[in-house]
Amino acid sequence: MKLERLFEDNHCLAVNKPAGLLSQADASREPSLVDLVRQDLKTRYRKPGNVYVGLLHRLDRPTSGVVLLAKTSKAAGRLSAEFRSGRISKLYWAIVEGVVDEPAGQWIDRLEKDCRSNRVDVVEENSGSGKTASVDFEVLERWGRYTKIALWPATGRSHQLRAQLASRGLPILGDRKYRSKKGLKAEDGRFRIALHARQLTFMHPTLKEAISVEAPVPADWPELSQPWRERWYGSRKPAADSSP
């Protein structure tokens, strides 16, 4: 699998993770993004020994988009601190089943994870459990019973966007775990969901200047499929890769 590099210097590397690929290895021992990045660095820079790769955040397996990694432990420490403090800005695109009536707004919920089912649910604010999750949203386009929205999460909870949308009767297209009625396939044949980490903005660990990295949607993004184009756009070309 070929890596799509979006930004790279001596300190960090941003890539466009394809849907279906693990961010990091798990008990299955299947190839992961970290494995691919490590091998890519070893090959391109002809490094015979171990190569440092610091995974700073993760995307769920069925999600595509920007992932930022550190190439040095010093950069990893500084960038991890940015993630923990919430200073890093993340923009996602999603296509959901259902109509979002408001043009823009904010959703704040309390989320609780069931580790046995690996599922997250919205719970009552006074439940005494879970963690607060917040996201700003803006509607980008509507097609019949589907809506494309931009999402700016202020928190980074597990399955946050998937759970918050599903709780409002707006499951992400393809997300069967969260009650989507339709399945989607990634390029590698595994399932994907219509959630894409479109942009990530961070403060460079040594230059101290803001870096914004943007990930093009992949070929398996629903808007780019022939049936979707014919159904919703006719002869018009969708602006699937234009900024919101």
The answer to whether the CB of 66 falls within 8 A of the CB of 200 is yes
**Sign, CA torsion 67/71/73/78:** negative
Catalytic residue among 40, 60, 109, 175: 60
Radius of gyration of the chain (CA): 18
Alpha carbons 17 and 44: distance in angstroms, whole number: 19
Q: Is 8 exposed, middle or buried (0-12, 13-18, 19+ CB in 10 A)?
A: middle
Q: Using the 8-state DSSP alphabet, how is residue 165 labeled?
A: H
Burial 57-85 (b: 16+ CB within 10 A, else e): bbbbbbbbbbbbbbbeeebbebbbeeeee
Q: Using the 8-state DSSP alphabet, how is residue 240 labeled?
A: T
Q: Is 87 helix (H, G, I), strand (E, B) or coil?
A: coil
60 is catalytic: yes
List residues with catalytic annotation.
Answer: 60
